[in-house]
Amino acid sequence: MKPFGSCHCGNITLEVATLPTEVTSCNCSLCRRYAGLWAYYEPADVVVHYQNPVKSFYIWGDRDIEHHRCHHCGCVTHYITTDKCPVKRIAVNARMADPALLEKMKIRLVDGASF
């Protein structure tokens, strides 16, 4: 696993199997507010470490995705699909990555607002 990033206070740190070359910027009603840049993985390819085990997340609409944030500093670090979703996926927010790392990633725009 490779270090990917952390929330502002350092409570949540993220590791990924391989660093992404491309991340997604989505304009749906939630992503545009979070301003997240998402890199998608199989659940086994990401490790999320919590210093404080309290988990805080937001779930809405079809209730198939949990958007997780640090309960202390509020940074949105990752999302995971719930049991309701047939696809098991985790996405990490590249905004948590070091800027030098983020600079190397291509940003792909996704029109999530239209579907």
- Our CB check for Zn ion shows the closer of 14 and 26 to be 14
Contact 31, 95 (CB under 8 A): no
CB of 114 to Zn ion, least distance (A): 33
CB of 52 to Zn ion, least distance (A): 9
Question: Interface residues with Zn ion (CB under 5 A)?
Answer: 7, 9, 11, 70, 72-73
CB of 12 to Zn ion, least distance (A): 6
Point out the residue whose Cβ comes nearest to Zn ion: 70
- Our CB check for Zn ion shows the closer of 17 and 35 to be 35
DSSP letter string over 3-43?
A: EEEE-TTSSEEEEESS--SEEEEE-STTHHHHT--EEEE-G
Q: Rounded to whole angstroms, what are the CA distances from 95 to 44, 55, 67, 92? A: 21, 19, 14, 9
15, with CB counted inside 10 A (0-12, 13-18, 19+), is: middle
- Our CB check for Zn ion shows the closer of 28 and 48 to be 48
- Our CB check for Zn ion shows the closer of 27 and 52 to be 52
Letter for the amino acid at 97?
Answer: A
CB of 65 to Zn ion, least distance (A): 20
Q: Please report where in the chains the tokens 């600079």 appear, as a residue.
A: 103
